[in-house]
Amino acid sequence: MNKYGLIGNNISYSKSPVLHQIIAEIFNIDLTYELFDVNSIEEINQLINSHKIKGFNVTKPYKKDVLKYLDKVSNIVKKTNAVNTIYYKNNKIYGDNTDYYGFKYLIKYHNINIKNKKIAILGTGGAAEVVYYYLKKHTKHVLFVSRTKQNKNTITYENIKKYKFDIIINATPIGTHPNINESPINKNHLSNNPILIDLTYNPSKTKFMSLSSNSYNGLIMLIVQALYAQKRWNKKIKINKKIISQIKEQLNV
């Protein structure tokens, strides 16, 4: 039986083990999937190089740090400097970022029009970089939002209201279970009623999402990125709307 797992910190809330077991049952794959809650990048190096695990997903706060332990990376990783999937091929350690495909599908699934829209991405971490990379193919008006102004593509939270964004995306972990009463912004940051997308999926409706009448969580992104990760590990994986709906129903989030 092949073993896979999620590398991160403070990730006990994660639905990934259940999600990957559902995928395994659908495609008749014999596997186990566990959480590796680690406290240092050195522990990750030991895990990856032990070759006891057949593949990993990577989440906060290690999506960028893990890069130095990989032999080869995908074009998406080269553009974003963020990894969420590790696999082995020809005695090499490969890195990919299937969050890209997950976010792309989330936009399509919910019929969200992003063409030439003014969009803000809360956060500057690995997930934010991937979202930015996808959005820039469809609009020139994308800005990161951070506590401090870092470059010309970044504004501070205090300035969100001035821009009247059409879409605001939370790519921070703020509001994730168990801190469900937190939000990276509040009503005072908004001068309109933008579409809100929270990459968080637990809880299903975050405090951030409650700030707008038009909001979406990251569940579809979670499911699709997991399917693409499994596709890197197991060639028998197929991805379509029927399978995604089946997983969503069984996951019951």
- Which sequence positions are flagged as catalytic? 63
24-58 residues labelled b (16+ CB within 10 A) or e (exposed): bebeebebebebbebeeeeebeebbeeeebbbbbb
Query: How is residue 96 written in tokens?
Result: 């990919």
SS3 219: helix
CB atoms under 10 Å from CB of 175, counted, come to 21
100 vs 147: CA distance, rounded Å: 25
Residue in 189, 196, 64, 209 with CA at minimum distance from that of residue 124:
64
Query: How is residue 214 written in tokens?
Result: 């038009």
